[in-house]
């Protein structure tokens, strides 16, 4: 154990590192006695580590049965343009991507309109499953103009976020984005990627990100597990209507 970090936090991190490896949603955590033996710590330390995971909605405890790995649940504020890795890091969670596909294809009508490309244009198409604490949370379809896509396609997409690659390696700062959110159901390919039943509830987000000069450079179709995320925002009342009904 690292003496510079509280023991309970070290046990908590050690358990988190096992999520998605040998511990998956629904699996029971090792007993307190086994964790005490494995990590060489006290019962109080083990209990605090588990209590922290419960508070983070990553573990559920059932009286008389034990503690079980939960499907991660997140509350995601829609107040700034952030990527998946940034969102998970803000919650202290390890995240990564599993790359399913990288290809160059003719842009569909929706992709051409989002990226403002001419008829017949090709794009780089990337499909990834985004994992938090080892669990699939989002299935992402990303479309990039070829000049950028061919650069990004050579990068380590399992460990490097596309937003970071665009901004720090490929000279393309992201200024803002447009979002369209809708409730949907998982088609077979999406359900398989997210390890849920076909037809399960999901959130679909169509997001177009813009660089300097309002040039669209990244169009994504994001599919979030419906049992994993709640989107929140805060809206102001227009000044022209303030007090109109008082």
71-96 residue pLDDT tens: 778 778 888 888 888 888 777 777 88
Helices and strands: H and E segment counts in the chain = 8, 10
Q: Hey, is 209 helix, strand or coil? A: strand
Q: What's the pLDDT score for residue 3?
A: 63
Give Cα separations from 163 to 54, 132, 151, 168, 174 (angstroms): 31, 17, 13, 9, 8
Higher pLDDT, 91 or 244: 91
Domain spanning 74-232: CATH 1.20.1250.20: no
Q: What is the pLDDT of residue 239?
A: 82
Residue 112 dihedral angles phi and psi, to the nearest 5°: -60, -45
Residue-wise pLDDT for 167-208, tens only, equals: 999 999 999 999 999 999 999 999 999 999 999 999 999 999
Q: Is 63's pLDDT higher than 90?
A: no
Q: Which one is the CATH code of 7-69: 1.10.10.10, 3.40.50.300, 3.50.50.60, 3.40.50.20?
A: 1.10.10.10
Secondary structure letter of residue 27 according to DSSP: P
Residue boundaries of the structural domains of the chain = 7-69, 74-232
Q: Which residue has the higher pLDDT, 198 or 63?
A: 198
* Residue 21: predicted pLDDT: 77
Report which DSSP code applies to 187. -
Per-residue model confidence as pLDDT tens digits over 207-221: 999 999 999 999 999
Q: What is the pLDDT of residue 242?
A: 54
For the stretch 97-124, pLDDT in tens is 999 999 999 999 999 999 999 999 999 9
Q: In the chain, what percentage of residues exceed pLDDT 90? A: 61
């Amino acid at each position: 154990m690292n003496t510079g970090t509280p023991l309970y936090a070290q046990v908590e991190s050690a358990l988190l590192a096992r999520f998605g490896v040998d511990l998956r949603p629904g699996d029971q955590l090792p007993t307190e006695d086994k964790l005490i033996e494995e990590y060489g710590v006290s019962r109080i330390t083990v209990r605090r580590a588990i209590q922290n995971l419960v508070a983070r909605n990553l573990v559920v405890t059932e009286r008389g049965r034990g503690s079980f790995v939960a499907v991660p649940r997140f509350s995601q504020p829609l107040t700034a343009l952030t990527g998946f890795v940034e969102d998970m890091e803000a919650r202290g969670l390890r995240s990564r991507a599993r790359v399913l596909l990288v290809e160059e294809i003719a842009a569909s009508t929706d992709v051409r309109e989002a990226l403002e490309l001419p008829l017949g244009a090709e794009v780089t198409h990337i499909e990834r499953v985004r994992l938090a604490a080892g669990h699939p949370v989002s299935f992402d379809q990303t479309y990039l103009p070829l000049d950028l896509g061919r650069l990004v396609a050579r990068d380590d997409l399992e460990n490097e976020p596309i937003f970071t690659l665009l901004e720090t390696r490929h000279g393309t700062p992201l200024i803002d984005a447009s979002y369209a959110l809708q409730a949907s159901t998982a088609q077979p390919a999406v359900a398989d990627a997210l390890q849920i039943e076909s037809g399960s509830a999901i959130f679909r987000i169509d997001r177009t990100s813009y660089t300097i000069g309002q040039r669209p450079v990244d169009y994504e179709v994001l599919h979030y597990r419906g049992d994993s995320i709640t989107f929140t925002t805060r809206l102001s009342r227009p000044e022209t209507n303030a007090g109109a009904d008082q």
